[in-house]
Structure 1
Amino acid sequence: MNGMWFVSFADSAVPAPGGGDAGCAAAERARRRMAELGAYFGTDHLTAGTGALCLESGRHATQAIFTETWLRDRRHYLHLRGAKKLTGAVTDAARLDLVTGVCLYSSATVRFTDERGDSPALLHPGVGRLTGPLRRIVADDELSVYEREAIVRQSRVIADLLAVLPADLPTTVTIDVPRVQYYCYLLDAFRRGHVRADLMLRWFDLVDARHTQLTGAFRARLRTTLDSVRRADVAVRTAPGLDPLAQRLRDAVSGTGSRMPPIRDLVAVQAAADPVWEVLQRVQPPRDRDQLWEMSYTVEVLRAIGIHDTGGRALAMMVDRYAEFPILQHAQRVQRRIDQSSSGLPVLGLYPAERVINVGRDGVPESLYFQDASRYVVADDHTTVDLFPLIDGLYEAPGESAVRAR
């Protein structure tokens, strides 16, 4: 079972992989919570079906349930977080702030070559690491399959969701695409002398260009899907991320500025530019660059919650791939720490199942980010398949067919 699978899932509840009733019980709990979410939203157009996708992972066999969910006449498989013991109604909120995002590139669409000719997977933390000088960086110009799939899937879910929510609820969608965070992938190697300054600055330029390209593609796709459900009123903004740090890092690398700034200085720059970062600087400042990087994603959920604006009553929601749910958890922990939960409004996470799954030689599904395919692949009948229109059709009108590429 090696290659790329395109699947849509069956209309029956999924038992536990090892048999028994555990999977069915978990699926039923998830289905009930999804039905309660529809009631919270006050709509008959969000309904939980009888099907589910059960994903089991980790040595503790942790199960994630993606409930078959109908948003009007379109089916999605959604994992729901933050909806236990829902009380009140969506009309309690003064506005809806929704956060979504996608990472840059994929591990296969940027190739780093060292002095021995090896290609370490530097975009795969914990796997790729430079042990000698880096000689070349080559990046594909076209969006990766991972990037295309993510923006199509998430745009469709967001539009279908907003189509069933009250049209008079002011709504903003924030697209959070990393930029300066990707600078950090090579900073340690630069400090160890493994990356020349000119090559480091080339990496910064590649990241900046991809950020512009991907953000533009995401905004355009989201706008198109929102227009298709008559929600042109929805505001769309781009998250600033760590943009205030960009020039400081460039100056430090090029030698026109001081040495690489310490973490406290970087946090201070962010706090001076952003009231949410100012709150974080006081209650939970990052201790190193990794925490700074990770916290930059949490910031947008905290902004949606309104930790810097005690007078607001915003319903905060995150729509992203399932692997990003720790961002929501982190935001909830910070919220509890500063006791900003008096509004009683939930902080929701909706994570649509990826219907494009890459299966390795060991039969284990892997994220498209780490095991991306090329845009053109060969199907079982030896025909060439362009994955981009296939992905578009898969999420616009899900069917029951499957295509495998090898």
Structure 2
Amino acid sequence: MRTRNRLSAKGAASLGAGKFADGAGLWLYKQERERGKWVFRVTVHGKRREMGLGAFPDVSLADARKKADDARAMAQDGLDPIKEREKARRKAERNMHLLNDIALDAFEARKAELKGDGKAGRWFSPLEIHVLPRLGKMPVAEIDQIDIRDTLAPIWHDKAHTAKKALNRLSLCLKHAAALGLEVDLQAPEKARALLGKQRHETKNIPAMPWPEVPAFYKSLNDGTVTHLALRLLILTGLRSAAIRFARLDEIEGDVWTVPAERVKGRVGATQPFRVPLSGEALAVIEQAKRHARDGFLFPSVRKGVISGATMSRHMERLGMEYRPHGFRSSFRDWIAESTNTPHDVAETAIGHTVGGAVERAYKRTDFLEQRRALHERWAGYLTAKADNVVRIG
């Protein structure tokens, strides 16, 4: 066995230029009396290797011996200590990614799935406002359930819906980090949820007008203004307000309105636009709206662009209603469920929902246009005549 510990700390400091063995593969290479480096010589798989252990005198003799012992143990296990150190270095660098960077990268990767490529900021804002100010500069590998709990606790009860969104977005960021090869605790968000406890204020659905009340409200929208006409078309089609507000004349051909897929939430990622059958009543509303049209848009604002997302809501607020325009989708869907025997897939497609998984959709490519045309005509008839009879749609 080789003699070990030949050098002393004081003796090493007094040595001039040269190479000096401490034993068992540890050497001190000195360029001059005050400066040098520690080197560990080892044979791995029959190949001679020299592994630098740090500069002298920054690395003490005791520290150099400890590093040599660790490297020697690896070599005895058949591992190359130089390669293992490089692996550890790359792993440490990989896991130093900050949440700020991961969140931006995750957002960029999901833009194609988001309405308008996420330009409205609704996907990123819960992170940007409530998570990143506190955790953004932390390496994702270090984020645990305590960090998440402490970050979301201030809004967990008072802003329940926003807090849930923030937790969901953070979970997606951690999954994105894991996909990049980073070591993260994917269970941390659920652990944090358990620590935060049940929320006192549960998320409430958007208030929807009961469908028996809709005809009377529809008939009250009779002054021919942009707001009234937009609300009428929204109720008739069952679409969301963005699809209505940005409606263009060149999207309508005959009695079919082809809405670009990016304007119909819930059909994000669809390769085909969404065709909406227009009832006779809907066509009459569009005809009235044409006199307001500007730059191709059916519902322009007073100044430029189109009416805002709040325009229709404010009209209902002024009437003292708690209901909101978005709720008419539920009104329409409830009417279908309670007053017709419309097949589920047809009913869901009527309000712009994507039906079935990716594989199922690949084989079943129909959008039930003809069945929906009959359904929309009967909905329009109900709205304008306030018919209470049960409609059967085959």
User: Which TM-score band applies after superposition, normalised by the shorter structure?
Assistant: under 0.3
Structure number with greater CO (CA < 8 Å, separation at least 6) is: 1
TM-score of the pair, normalised by structure 1: 0.18
Q: Which one has the largest radius of gyration? A: 2
Which has a greater percent of strand?
Answer: 1
